[in-house]
Amino acid sequence: MPDSSYFIRKLESTDSVQRFKAGKESFVPLKTFLKKQAKQFQQSNLAQTYVAVTSEKIVIGYITLTCSEIDLKEGYELSDCITANNYEFLPAVKIARLAVDSRYRKNGIGVNLLEYAVAIIKDKVAENVGCRFVVTDAKTEAIGFYKNQGFTLLDSEDNGTIEHHLMFLDLTALR
C-alpha cells in the first residue's frame, strides 16, 4: 500500500478525488460517481459521503449513504414488533456506493468505512428518526465482504438472478 496512514470523516469540498482508481471496468461507475457527483449530491442533501483520506486530503476510499426502505418479501420476520410485519416497507439507510482505491484494497479500509457508516446509522439516524435496517445492492463480487460484516442476502426469487443482490443488516442484531 503506497501510504498506510488515513482517517475517516465526511467528504469535504477541497478533498482530492481525481486520482481515485477503480480497478476493473465494471467498477468505473464508482470512480465516476466520486469524481463527478459525490460533492454535488452532498450539497443537495441527496446522499452523504464519508471518505478515507490521507494527510494530503487524497481520497482512497468512500462510502455513500442515502435514505431508503426495504420490502422484506416475507423473507424475514421481526419478533420484537409483530405489527411491523404487516407493513410493506420498513425504514432503512442504503449504502449507495462503497469503494476503496484498487491500490489500497485488502488493508481493512473497506471494513473501517462500513463500521463508521453503521455507527452513524445506529447512533444518529436510528436513535433520532427511526431506522431498523442498513441495505445495499451488492455486486456479486462483494457478497462475501458484506456477509463477513453480518449482512444477510435477501432470499427472494429474483434476487439471485440479477447483477446486484439486495443485502441487509438488522441494526438490533448489533445490540
Ligand X SMILES: CC(C)(COP(=O)(O)OP(=O)(O)OC[C@H]1O[C@@H](n2cnc3c(N)ncnc32)[C@H](O)[C@@H]1OP(=O)(O)O)[C@@H](O)C(=O)NCCC(=O)NCCS
Region from 43-51, 72-80, 135-143, 151-159 binding ligand X, contact rule CB under 6 A: 135-143
Q: Say if residues 99 and 27 touch (Cβ distance below 8 Å).
A: yes
Q: CB of 72: closest distance to ligand X in angstroms? A: 20
Pick between residue 22 and residue 126 the one whose CB is nearest to ligand X.
22
Q: What is the CA radius of gyration of the chain?
A: 16
Among 39, 139, 150, 152, contact with ligand X (rule: CB under 6 A): 139
Give all strands (DSSP E) within 18-150, no chain letters.
48-53, 59-70, 90-100, 133-139
Draw the binding track, 17-46, toward ligand X (x: CB under 6 A; -: no contact). ----------x--x----------------
Give the C-alpha separation, 133 to 108, whole Å: 23
Residue 111 makes contact with ligand X by CB under 6 A: yes
Q: CB of 107: closest distance to ligand X in angstroms? A: 5
CB atoms within 10 A of CB 139: 16
Q: CB of 13: closest distance to ligand X in angstroms? A: 23
Residue 145 makes contact with ligand X by CB under 6 A: yes
DSSP 64-102: EEEEEEE--TTS---SS-GGGGG-S-EEEEEEEEEEE-G
The candidate with the shortest Cα–Cα distance to 55, out of 18, 108, 3, is: 3
- Kindly identify the residues of this chain, within the stretch 88-107, that bind ligand X according to CB under 6 A: 98-100, 105-107
Q: CB of 34: closest distance to ligand X in angstroms? A: 11
Q: Which residues bind ligand X (CB under 6 A)?
A: 27, 30, 98-100, 105-111, 138-139, 141-142, 144-145, 148
